[in-house]
Structure 1
Amino acid sequence: MKTIKRMMDHLYWADGRILDALEASETKNKDLLKLVRHVAVAEQVWLSRLQGESSSQYSLWEEAEELTPIRMMFEENAEQYRLYIERLEESGLEQMIDYANQSGVPFRTSVRDILMQVLLHGQYHRGQINRLLRMESAEPVQVDYITFARL
């Protein structure tokens, strides 16, 4: 549990750093904004499943025009994940969650594996976002776990 909590703290930190880098770049690149919005919405999707709710209302790949509403999504995600993790006991990590993906296909996955998906999915896309920032001649931001751990 300690490791997952620490990794979630890294996720909140890394999400914030990416948002700050995007803000500093003043990008209007729709693909870049769409990708960062995707990360925020995916976090919401998985949280709703962890909470036993449907995720069918979420659209993972919508266009985004502005960074401010995306930042608000990330802030709300962090708050809700913190509350969820605070109540989660070690034994709860093995609980199986039944849910349907965005196409309606049913799945059953452990809480541990869902949280690992959230953690790894975000890191994957933050790398893509940094690459796109560099392609726009903007400054990418360090989001590696070791950078967070050294703070």
Structure 2
Amino acid sequence: MKTIKCMMDHLYWADGRILDALEESKTKNKNLLKLVRHVAVAERVWLDRLQGKGSAQYSLWEETEDLTAIRAMFEENAEQYRIYIEGLKEFELDEMIDYENQSGGAFRTSARDILLQVLLHGQYHRGQINRALRIESAEPAQVDYITFTRL
């Protein structure tokens, strides 16, 4: 549990850093903004599933230009994940969660694996965002876990 909590703290920090980099770049790249919104919405989708709620109301791939709204979503996600994880017991990480994906397919996955999906999914896309920032000659965000641990 300690490792997952620490990794989630890194996720919250890295989400903020990537948003800072996007704001500083003043990018208008629609695909890049769609991608960062996707990360925020996917975090929300998985949280709802962990809480036994449906997620059909969310659209994972929508265009946006509003980084302020995305930041608010990331902040709300962080707050709600902290509450969820604080109430989670170690044994509950291995409990199976039944849910439907965005296409209506039924799945069953452990809470541990869902949390790892959230962590790895975000890191993957933050790497894509950083690469796109570099291509645009903007400064990418340093989001490596080791950087986070040095704070």
Q: If the length of structure 1 is used for normalisation, what is the TM-score?
A: 0.99
Q: If the length of structure 2 is used for normalisation, what is the TM-score?
A: 0.99
Unaligned runs of 5+ in 1: none
Tell me the equivalent position of 2:142. 142
Dislocated runs of 4+, deviation >6 Å = none
Q: What is the CA distance between 1:80 and its match in structure 2? A: 0.3
Q: C-alpha separation between the residues in 1 aligned to 2:72 and 2:29?
A: 19
Cα shift readout 1:5-26 (whole Å, capped 9, x = no counterpart):
0000000000000000001111
Q: C-alpha separation between the residues in 2 aligned to 1:116 and 1:66?
A: 28
Paired residues, number: 151
Q: C-alpha separation between the residues in 2 aligned to 1:82 and 1:14?
A: 15
Q: What is the CA distance between 1:66 and its match in structure 2? A: 1.6
Cα shift readout 1:84-110 (whole Å, capped 9, x = no counterpart):
001001011011000000000000000
Map 1:1-151 to 2 at 5 A.
Answer: 1-151=1-151
Q: What is the CA distance between 1:141 and its match in structure 2? A: 1.1
Q: C-alpha separation between the residues in 1 aligned to 2:65 and 2:145?
A: 29
Q: What is the CA distance between 1:144 and its match in structure 2? A: 0.7
Aligned amino acid, residue 29 of structure 1: N
